[in-house]
């Protein structure tokens, strides 16, 4: 079987197990492309139902839970821990990016699918979404990133969770048409042909799902990501220049 067939088989197995055992089953963290396969199987999974969550509403990598409260009589609890990683002594910290945090975690021998999103703040600290089953290992083993000694702690309080709210920056573009590829070209500073190639290379997601249709017309509050270029929220379009080009208003996740 190819990779997609394996994913489809795994999804169906988890759904069937939830139905037969009368208990929730959970996938590991899935990429937007994998979640797209779940969407394609929606009708086949209707007998058991499912929900999706990644730790907060802005996560792209998410876990699929098979089953629902109507079937089992109680709501599901997703097996997700959030770990805060920060410098032990901030003034001696390196500037740290997503690749630094992810690379160090992978070097601990951890599989990618047990770790969800990694939210980096201020180039100093990060919040790591992971399966409960791997959280203790990360807490004990993640002690240094590059040359920076770090400390890890579990996030639990509402005050700490509020730190996960995204920082958004207002931006505007002038595009030739309100199509998705024109907007991608504008934010990435590419030609329309180069932007179209990003869709073909499966580097563009829309509302957490892989999007290959570059002619899509975005709706208010649609959220999209371009691998290597960032994450954005579409707000609106309005007004035209003298040459008939259109103003587009967005927010960029910082």
Q: In the prediction, which pLDDT does 243 show? A: 86
Closest-CA residue to 38 (of 24, 53, 23): 53
Q: In the prediction, which pLDDT does 205 show? A: 94
Distance, CA of 54 to CA of 82 (rounded, Å): 10
Distance, CA of 155 to CA of 45 (rounded, Å): 33
Give the global pTM: 0.84
232 neighbors 248 (Cβ within 8 angstroms): no
- Mean pLDDT score of the chain: 93
pLDDT digits (tens, 9 = 90+) for 38-73: 999 999 999 999 999 999 888 999 999 999 999 999
Structure tokens at 99: 């690749």
Distance, CA of 144 to CA of 141 (rounded, Å): 9
Q: In the prediction, which pLDDT does 156 show? A: 79
Closest-CA residue to 118 (of 109, 128, 110): 128
Residues linked to residue 153 through DSSP beta bridges, in sequence order: 84
Distance, CA of 115 to CA of 102 (rounded, Å): 9
**DSSP designation for 179:** B
249 neighbors 178 (Cβ within 8 angstroms): no
186 pLDDT band, cuts 50/70/90, is very high
Other beta carbons less than 10 A from residue 152's beta carbon: 17
Determine phi and psi for 71, rounding to 5 degrees: -75, -45
159 pLDDT band, cuts 50/70/90, is low
With a cut of 80, say whether residue 161 has pLDDT above it: no
With a cut of 80, say whether residue 88 has pLDDT above it: yes
Half-sphere exposure of 166 (CA within 13 A, CB side): 19
- Is 33 or 135 the better-scoring residue by pLDDT? 135
What share of the chain in percent tops pLDDT 70? Answer: 98
Structure tokens at 52: 């999706």
């Amino acid at each position: 079987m190819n990779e997609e067939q394996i994913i489809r088989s795994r999804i169906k197995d988890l759904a069937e197990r939830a139905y037969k055992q009368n208990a929730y089953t959970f996938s590991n963290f899935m990429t937007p492309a994998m979640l797209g396969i779940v969407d394609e199987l929606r009708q086949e999974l209707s007998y058991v139902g499912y929900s999706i969550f990644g730790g907060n509403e802005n996560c792209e990598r998410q876990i699929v839970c098979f089953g629902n409260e109507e079937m089992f009589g109680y709501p599901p609890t997703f097996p997700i821990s959030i770990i805060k990683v920060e410098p032990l002594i901030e003034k001696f910290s390196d500037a740290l990016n997503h690749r630094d945090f992810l690379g160090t975690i992978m070097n601990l021998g951890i599989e990618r699918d047990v770790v969800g999103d990694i939210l980096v703040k201020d180039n100093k600290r990060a919040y790591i979404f992971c399966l409960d089953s791997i959280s203790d290992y990360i807490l004990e083993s993640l002690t240094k990133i590059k040359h920076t000694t770090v400390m890890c702690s579990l996030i639990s309080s509402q005050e700490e969770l509020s730190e996960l709210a995204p920082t958004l920056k207002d931006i505007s573009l002038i595009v030739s048409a309100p199509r998705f590829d024109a907007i991608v070209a504008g934010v990435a500073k590419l030609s329309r042909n180069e932007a179209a190639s990003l869709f073909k290379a499966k580097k563009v997601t829309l509302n957490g799902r892989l999007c290959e249709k570059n002619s899509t017309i975005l709706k208010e509050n649609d959220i999209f990501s371009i691998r290597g270029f960032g994450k954005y929220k579409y707000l609106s379009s309005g007004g035209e220049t003298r040459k008939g080009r259109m103003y587009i208003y967005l927010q960029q996740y910082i």
